[in-house]
Amino acid sequence: MVLKATFKRSFFKTFTWRVFASLDTALLTWFFSGDVVTGLKVGGLEVVTKLIIYFLHERAWRIGWKKQTDDFHHSKRRSLYKAITYRVIGTMDTFLIAWFFTGSAFTGSKVAIAEVFTKIFIYYVHERIWDRQKIGN
List, for residues 23-45, the tens digit of each pLDDT value. Answer: 999 999 999 999 999 999 999 99
How far are the Cα atoms of 33, 58, 73, 112 from residue 99, in angstroms, in the given order? 10, 26, 36, 10
Name which residue leads in pLDDT, 70 or 119: 119
What is the per-residue pLDDT for 89? 94
Portion of the chain with pLDDT greater than 70, in percent: 86
Residue 117 has pLDDT above 70, yes or no: yes
pTM as predicted: 0.81
pLDDT mean over 52-81: 73
CB 67 within 8 A of CB 11: no
Instruction: Give the DSSP H or E segment for 99.
Output: helix 76-102
What is the per-residue pLDDT for 2? 46
What is the per-residue pLDDT for 90? 92
pLDDT mean over 90-107: 97
Residue 3 has pLDDT above 50, yes or no: no
Residue 104 has pLDDT above 80, yes or no: yes
Banded model confidence at residue 67, pLDDT cuts 50, 70, 90: low
Query: What is the Cα Rg of the chain in Å?
Result: 17
